[in-house]
Chains A and B, each alone.
Chain A
Amino acid sequence: MKEYMMIFRNEKMEGEMPSAEQMQMVMQQWQSWITAIANQGKYSGTNRLLPEGKTIKPNNIVTDGPYMEAKEMVGGYLVVKANSLADALEMAQTCPNLVYGGNVEVRAVMTIDNDPNSPSFLQEKN
């Protein structure tokens, strides 16, 4: 089992806020999706992020707002355990974020090796 991170992105929010009922329905969709992953023992952690944020660049430059250059912003993430990227992708297919015009980026946790003789180091290269 390897670790994968799903990054949820949405276009920066403009216009009307959704109603309380709409919000509740969305929340339930998220909950049942995550529960299904947890039931397979593949859940590791998830969070939603507040839209406010700052970005820090070298030389102590702090800019307001989440990362400005992208037209979309990261709204949350989920870390899962999966056997392969394909396996993780399959889980992502049913992610509620896709229903509301967002997207999901799926990325494997990178292994960093200092020792070129280690088995994992060799595996990575194969």
Chain B
Amino acid sequence: MNDPSNNISKLTDHLFRHESGKLVAVLAKVFGTQNLELAEDVLQETFISALQVWRIKGVPDNPSGWLFRSAKNKAIDIIRKNKFSIQMDFSDSERALLKSEYTLTTVMDTMWTDEAIRDDLLKMMFACCHKNISIENQITLILKSLCGFTTTEIAKAFLTSEETISKRLYRTKEFFREEKIRPEFPPPHQLQNRTAAVLKSIYLIFNEGYNSTNSDTLIRKDLLEQAMYLCGLLCSNQHTQNPEVYAAMALMCFHAARIESRVSSEGEIILLARQDRTKWDATLIAEGNDYMNKAAFGNTLSTYHIEAAIAYEHCIAETFDSTNWQQILNYYDLLAKLYPTAVVILNRMTVLYKIKGGLEILPELNQSPYLYEWEKHYLYHSLLGEIYSSIDRVKARKSFEKAITLTQSDAEQKLLQYKIEQL
């Protein structure tokens, strides 16, 4: 039996994830970012009344439309009640019109059009990714206010406590209040840099969903979905669409296409060599390809471009053995030249190992200027373990054991444990 009230709460949960960002963004525009908390309260009330009304009267034909209308009417009532409150700032010319009954509802109707609201969400992204807000705080606020995540879910995703998450949220909202941050598109000369900052946050959210094998599958999927939704907004807005944005979107498509085959139903990591390639999502790969073509315009060659090219090579290889490692190495050489980081160089060494074998690369590995940074990275010790497993089993075991201590992910630890057992 289908319980209708259960269906309604499933529907509202779904709508909360997908519409709350836009609702918060338009409400924050109306009340000002210093009243972000109030915007979130109105959002909660809107969903509570949806649950109540829909259970009695049934679900309306256009549930999202209902939510936006209901939130707008609640906002109008709040504006009327707070016309004299110092909490609200009516000093800018658009909001000055909210104080007069001649213009209040007309201005609200204008603010509530679909296009305006889509822009509001992006403008809020720019506000959240302000350069004076730390990256963890940026991501936390984006997930909480614009992606409909609960504090508990964010804490789980980041392997941290709810208290830490609440503190981060508090600090950012305090910053909004003090600095009176306005959600708006940056001026043209800042647009590229500020869009890159927004993109960085989005990609970190995506990575959290892609790599964090510790949190539950649903949260991970939602992280990926939300990151791709937000990146899709950047792609489709004329202010923000640029080659780097397209390249990042392509990269996310190529990664997301393989997510199903990457983790077993028991939450264990399946190595690329053993993945069932028939499970890869051909539609997403094709979409990624389209974005790659769009990314090819202009002179930008970002890390996203090169990483997407690498991911694409994996996507088109029919079997693990037919992977074009030489081509992938070429891309890593380029990446190492343009954007050398400890992780990039380490990944390049892993590819080199696939091509040349362990004995060939050990000297280069041991003389690398990145050794000091690698020491702290589980991937380095895991690679050493791989190399030693055919040379020196004791050293191999030691390396894998060291790697286990350096990752917090259950799935990674299990995988390393499995490798020790195979020695």
Contact, chains A and B (beta carbon distance below 8 A): yes
Residues of A bordering B, CB below 8 Å = 1, 3, 44, 81, 109-115, 117-120
Cβ-defined contact, B69 with A119, below 8 A: no
15 further A-B pairs in the complex, CB-CB below 8 A; given A110-B101, A111-B101: A1-B81, A3-B83, A81-B84, A111-B80, A112-B101, A112-B102, A112-B105, A115-B73, A115-B105, A117-B69, A117-B73, A118-B73, A118-B77, A120-B76, A120-B77
B15 at the interface (CB under 8 A from A): no
What are some 7 contacts across the A-B interface (CB < 8 A)? A3-B83, A109-B101, A112-B102, A112-B105, A115-B73, A117-B73, A118-B73
The residue on B at minimum CB distance from A112 is B101
A120 to B80, Cβ gap below 8 A? yes
Range of interface residues on B (Cβ < 8 Å): 10 to 19
How far does the Cβ of A44 sit from chain B's closest Cβ, in whole Å?
7
Taking a contact as CB atoms under 8 Å apart, the answer to whether A119 and B73 are in contact is yes
| Contact for A114 among B77, B80, B84, B109, CB less than 8 A | B109
Tell me how many residue pairs across A and B have CB atoms closer than 8 Å: 32
Is B72 close to A, CB under 8 A? yes
Contacting B105 at CB < 8 Å: which of A44, A81, A114? A114
Residue of A nearest to B72 (CB): A115
Distance from B63 Cβ to chain A, minimum over Cβ atoms (Å): 15
In the assembled complex, which residues on chain A have CB atoms less than 8 Å from the CB atom of B72? 115
Measured CA separation A120–B72 after assembly (Å): 12
Q: Which of A110, A111, A115 contacts B69 (CB 8 A)?
A: A115
Query: Complex Cα distance A104/B288, Å?
Result: 72
Contact mask for chain B residues 46-88; partner A; CB cutoff 8 A; 1 contact, 0 none? 0000000000000000000000010011001100110110000
Question: B362 to chain A: closest CB distance in Å?
Answer: 72
Taken residue by residue from 160 to 193, chain B's Cβ proximity to chain A (1 for < 8 Å, 0 otherwise) reads as 0000000000000000000000000000000000
A112 contacts which chain B residues (CB < 8 A)? 101-102, 104-105
Q: Who on chain B is nearest to A122 by CB?
A: B73
Is B106 part of the contact surface with A, judged by Cβ < 8 Å?
Answer: yes
CA distance A111 to B81 in the complex (A): 12
With CB as the reference atom, state the residue of chain B lying closest to A118: B73
Most buried by B among A44, A113, A117, A118: A118
Per the bound structure, the CA–CA distance linking A109 and B72 in Å amounts to: 21
In the assembled complex, which residues on chain B have CB atoms less than 8 Å from the CB atom of A111?
80, 101
- In the bound complex, residues from chain A placing their C-beta under 8 Å from that of B84 are 44, 81
B310-345 interface code vs A (CB 8 A; 1 in, 0 out): 000000000000000000000000000000000000
Q: Cβ of B83: which chain A residues have Cβ within 8 Å of it?
A: 3
User: Which residues of the partner chain B approach A120 to less than 8 Å between Cβ atoms?
Assistant: 73, 76-77, 80
Closest 4 CB pairs of A and B: A118-B73, A114-B105, A112-B101, A113-B105
**What is the 8 Å Cβ interface bit string for chain B, positions 80-111, against chain A (1 contact, 0 not)?**
11011000000000000000011011100100
How far, in angstroms, from A110 to B105 measured CA to CA in the complex?
12
Query: Which residues of chain B are within 8 angstroms of A3 by Cβ–Cβ distance?
Result: 83
CB neighbours (8 Å) of A114 from chain B are 105-106, 109
* Given A44-B84, A81-B84: A119 in contact with B77 (beta carbons within 8 A): yes
Contacts of A117 in B (CB 8 A): 69, 73
Can you name the residue of chain B whose Cβ is closest to the Cβ of A115? B73
- What's the nearest-Cβ distance from chain A to residue B119, in Å? 22
